[in-house]
Structure 1
């Protein structure tokens, strides 16, 4: 495999049928999809500016426009959904899931915000650009958060964006609601994991109730102030929530999942001005992770 080629023939064969029609608007044919996808992967893997893409990929403008199109029309999300359906069908998804977020620094060339920025809204709509482009000011400067949910084998299932200073707990319902793996044939999509693990940032009563109402086992430790308040109230404080300490030891899979994402320099640092295209790169990384497993699976 060369430095400018990332997908094997079996991997490309899985996603080639999922690509849009080879004819663009006005009857103009698209350039080779595989070449464009390889160019997009190369850009995010290396973090190089779009203008500095090797000439072997063709015009950098064409590569960028293809990525912008696929990020905006939902092509990347559709491909990932199809791969997840296939993975679930062959039993590759482990339904003990972990939730967390990671903060990524936004490069100065990837921001176009004034000094007065700092909105607290979270980015949940996948196809509409948020007012602050999912960039906010935190202690690390201008940053973006990736809120993710992965399975027990650190494979990504859900990826959303939020501002760097945005809280984790308010995004938890959105992350859980975005878990949707369709099934082939009869039956609705699977949206309910067997167990959900998260750190203390998600230890609110509302999040615990959300999981309890859906019949999902919660493995979330109590915050120290929650413990103190419960003990102070005595019997009125109720019983402590159940907590499986052995299961919680496996929560580190989400941290390792983030490490895999950040192997791509264009994701570890955000160079994109648009949250739409940055998230598209994140979803594309998830696609390549699943392709490595499914490419050799009959």
Structure 2
């Protein structure tokens, strides 16, 4: 393989050695075999780190931009990066490195005009997530390809669940107008960590830490049903309504203030992820390719630990 200069590399040699066996191989594959695997994958990550257009990728470092794009499109559609992240999480869980108290929140990414100059048909799916990776493309894409009109214009919203150390566990991409709390069930459904020694995969966190956007009775009831501790403060209007009802208002929900202080780890991860310019601004027309890049960033976050 032709060497890729360190200036253009995103993965270290050690990180690449960990994920290379998890990527699709050429065995049993029809058509032209994959060539210079790392070179192409580095090109995918470099494109999102810098935000450069696909056609402007340095050819001498990454080869033809069409090859890099097609590989990214293939891996986004077949769920390759979701499988890599799942395996990395399984290894981390086996080593006792995962904190099962998760913080959830969402962040807005402005959609560039190159991402919005296509039709945005409405389909029956509501978010781009790992559970949709085996569906046909027409069913994978969310309404408007994950782009919606919010106060900031045409935007995309990334919903994340991170562990207690701010490392991502689950990702959903929706239009920017979607309510954070309405997507929480989808985000929690994406948490799935197999056990390397066998047995049922773990999917239930011990606690969910979230801000007041998630303070609804429906969410608290659902978390209670799943035996998940809700660390969510009440909204001011909820406090006032209970006070007006007096003794009929019931007791306020318990809030672990010490645990709630750790909620900002999700905000810190958003700040870290948005150092990749291709994530801070969405240039992708397809929600699945944009979400695949978010997943690559999540994989690198775990590999650094």
TM-score tier after normalising by the smaller chain length: over 0.9
- The residue that corresponds to 1:296 in the other structure is none
Task: Tell me the secondary structure at the aligned position of residue 71 of structure 1.
Answer: helix
> 1:22-54 CA distances to partner (integer Å, 9 max, x unpaired)?
258534211222111100010000000000001
Which whole-Å CA distance do the structure 2 matches of 1:70 and 1:30 have between them?
A: 13
Shift of 1:10: 1.6
Aligned length: 292
- The residue that corresponds to 2:77 in the other structure is 72
- The residue that corresponds to 1:39 in the other structure is 43
- The residue that corresponds to 1:12 in the other structure is 16
- The residue that corresponds to 1:211 in the other structure is 223
Alignment of 1:79-228 (within 5 A): 79-113=84-118, 122-125=126-129, 126-127=132-133, 128-228=140-240
Task: Tell me the secondary structure at the aligned position of residue 72 of structure 1.
Answer: helix
- The residue that corresponds to 2:33 in the other structure is 29
Counterpart contact for 1:148–1:158, Cα < 8 Å: yes
RMSD: 1.9
Task: Tell me the secondary structure at the aligned position of residue 143 of structure 2.
Answer: coil
Counterpart contact for 2:128–2:287, Cα < 8 Å: no
- The residue that corresponds to 1:2 in the other structure is 6
Structure 1 residues 272, 24: closer, same or farther in 2, change over 3 A?
farther
Which whole-Å CA distance do the structure 1 matches of 2:200 and 2:143 have between them?
A: 34
Structure 1 residues 145, 65: closer, same or farther in 2, change over 3 A?
same
- The residue that corresponds to 2:55 in the other structure is 51
- The residue that corresponds to 2:246 in the other structure is 234
Structure 1 residues 284, 209: closer, same or farther in 2, change over 3 A?
same
* TM-score between the two structures when normalised by the length of structure 2: 0.91
Task: Tell me the secondary structure at the aligned position of residue 304 of structure 2.
Answer: helix
Task: Tell me the secondary structure at the aligned position of residue 175 of structure 1.
Answer: helix
Counterpart contact for 2:110–2:152, Cα < 8 Å: yes
| Structure 2 unmatched ranges of 5 or more | 134-139
Which whole-Å CA distance do the structure 2 matches of 1:17 and 1:281 have between them?
A: 19
> 1:56-113 CA distances to partner (integer Å, 9 max, x unpaired)?
2001000000000000000000000000000111111111210000000000111125
